[in-house]
Amino acid sequence: MDYLFRFRSSYCWMLVIFITGQVEFGWTNVAAIGINYGQIANNLPSPDEVVPLVKSIGATKVKLYDADPRVLRSFANTGVEIMVGLGNEYMSKMQDPKQAQAWIKSNVQPYLPATKITCIFVGNEVLTFNDTSLTDNLLPAMQSVHTALQNLGLDKQVTVTTTHSLAVLEKSYPPSAGAFRPDLEPCLSPILSFQSKTGSPFLINAYPYFAYKDNPKQVPLEFVLFQPNQGVVDSSTGLHYDNMLFMQIDAVYSALASLGYNKLPVHISETGWPSKGDQDEAGATPENAKKYNGNLIKLVAQSTKKGTPMRPNSDLNIYVFALFNENMKPGPTSERNYGLFKPDGTPAYSLGLATTASPSSSSDGVSGNSSNSGVNGGAPPLPPSSSTGYLSISSATSPVSHTSTVALLFYFSFFIFFFSLILL
């Protein structure tokens, strides 16, 4: 009882903060903002108490990593769109259409239409686990789940997709040259064909934080935190980028276009910044987390900043990672500190007040996608490291040699570009 009182009291205080932030920011619509709701913790509030927290940040979409019936019941009649997940451990079983249909009958159908389940993601970053059995099972599992939805008459309201790590890219700089790893294309092409036919989005987990953490002296902090900076120009397209996340998104669009899927929408299924980390985890501070997530939410909410430089007319669909700090996640300290909220419902950092306290300060300014042009005089942003699965998002799953190769290719490409400008 005492816990519930503390939670509700702290929530009321927090709600005032976020409402104040929204009024001063002019957040008239944040329909494209989603939140990842993980539960690897033993101290989280009940799902019923989570609903007002989700609404307080203006999120209208929630991504789960399972199909927890308590959560699905709690979000009934709220209008919040729910994406449920089938973990990698289900891949083999879901190849069987009968088992896929049984799972949907038990975990999805009973909650419709009261709970607005709109998507099922089958597998998390499967293609970069270097597990051939998982890779081989992915598309058949996706197809079986979709067929089951068709048989139950649910395929028009629930789509089927999967999430990917940015490690599926062989090249990400400049964004116009984005390309998938050649070794993954035989697996990706039929998956993309399936998604194109069924109308599901391409989901990518993108973390500019990792690029900064790995190279804090080379990666401009302003560039990854959506703060004012000179930015970078893609020499092939002339498009100007003043934040790394938009570069990552457009690199994915380019990679899709290179395989003939230029109309497939890209959604960011995970992105975030930790508020605490170990000594070797540069940049993991409450201040940086506040700037990244606060500026990102503000940027998406601005009606004048609809898309990326390459896709200015495409809606931004972004799921922030994560709703709570989760105390039972393995790995470095940062893994347990991605949450916007502490388990008692209070903000992990003052996301609303921090920016409104100094609205004219350039240090908290938000960087859009088409301000001044020019090239950043400092060192370039590196290609992104990426999340590697829900249990551990900060450790690499792809081979070290591949990650190092991508980094070296990026450095080489940038410096050729940079010095060519000097010579001119």
Catalytic sites, residue numbers: 125, 270
Which two tokens mark 109?
Answer: 């159908």
Instruction: Give the strand pairing for 179-180 and 169-171.
Output: antiparallel
Cα–Cα dist 303/260, whole Å: 30
In angstroms, the CA 266 to CA 243 distance is 17
User: Of 89, 182, 178, which Cα lies nearest the Cα of 138?
Assistant: 89
| Tokens, residue 8 | 């509700």
Contact 378, 215 (CB under 8 A): no
Backbone angles phi, psi at 29, to 5 degrees: -160, 120
**CB under 8 Å to 233, separation ≥6 — which residues?**
239, 240, 241, 373, 374, 375
Look up residue 338 and give its amino acid.
Answer: Y
Residues 118/121/122/128 CA torsion (nearest 10 deg): 170
Whole-number Cα distances in Å, 286 to 283, 343, 345: 9, 16, 16
CB-CB contact of 128 with 183 (8 Å): no
The CA-atom distances, in angstroms, between 153 and each of 94, 96, 109, 139, 157 are: 19, 19, 10, 21, 9
Give a three-class secondary structure readout of 191-222.
Answer: HHHHHHHHCCCEEEECCHHHHHHHCCCCCCHH
Q: CA 88 to CA 105: how far, in whole Å?
A: 20
Which helix (H) or strand (E) segment holds residue 177: the answer is none
Q: What angle separates helix 97-107 from helix 132-151, to the nearest 10 degrees?
A: 60
Tell me if the bond preceding 399 is cis, omega within 30° of 0. no
